[in-house]
Structure 1
Amino acid sequence: MGATRRHIDRTFNCSQTTISKLLIRYQQTGQTQDRPRSGRPRVTTPDEDHNIRQTHLRNRCVTATSTAATALGHVISRRTVLRRLYTAGTRAYRPFRGMALTRLHRQRRL
């Protein structure tokens, strides 16, 4: 289009390096799409992971299945929700009910 790289990076609010790399990629491949990467792509974005955690913290009694159905606009599995909560530091703990009383404890109480 005839615009300078400095004008383009100010327009899109990104660095000059990004514009240079995109230009080189376009000259080499004829397109600006990302190259294929190894590994399976993630189902959720970091923002969606944060949303899952916030939804769970608002109501801790909700199961992972119902969180998966309501937290995002698309369907994710129960295991995905559990993994995201686990990596966020939200783990399930068994409530402490007290020490188990032995026969000696019961005798001393009586």
Structure 2
Amino acid sequence: MQRRAREGVIVPRTHANRPEIILHRGEIIGRYKGGQSLKEISREMGIHNKSVRLCVRRYEAEGHVETRPRPGGPRSTTPYDDKRIIAASAQSPKKTAITLTRELGLECHVTPTRRRLHEAGIHCYIPAVKENLTPIHKAARLRFAEQYADMGQEFWSPSTPPVQ
């Protein structure tokens, strides 16, 4: 979820780095370079003057208006571990992230395991609890189906039209 910026610096792909936000900040810088005061920019654009000042200071110090990279720690799982997590989940989808972490012997908290599953598009769902059909249930269903097999479409449609 990160992208490369100039000079090899990784800039986070965050809400604050969306193109429309960068354009908005660029407008602030353009107005500032055009000679408007920070207070005028703030008033005309409807932005707090501290936000305008921060944007101008960052531009003067760093030459850009993008959000700075955040420190963030290193990943606690290797690419090999990530593949193992996904494969184990595909093999037995009802296992919890806690169980997967223990069974794979991963030296990390359960949270990274959940993150890797989410990154792969695997989310936890509570399976529907359904009653197992006994031979008695099956026979009753078959009798019902045979009894009403010859009924027409009018019989199965609702007697009143659906409310919209």
The TM-score bracket by the shorter chain reads 0.3 to 0.5
| TM superposition score normalised by structure 2 | 0.32
Larger Rg: 2
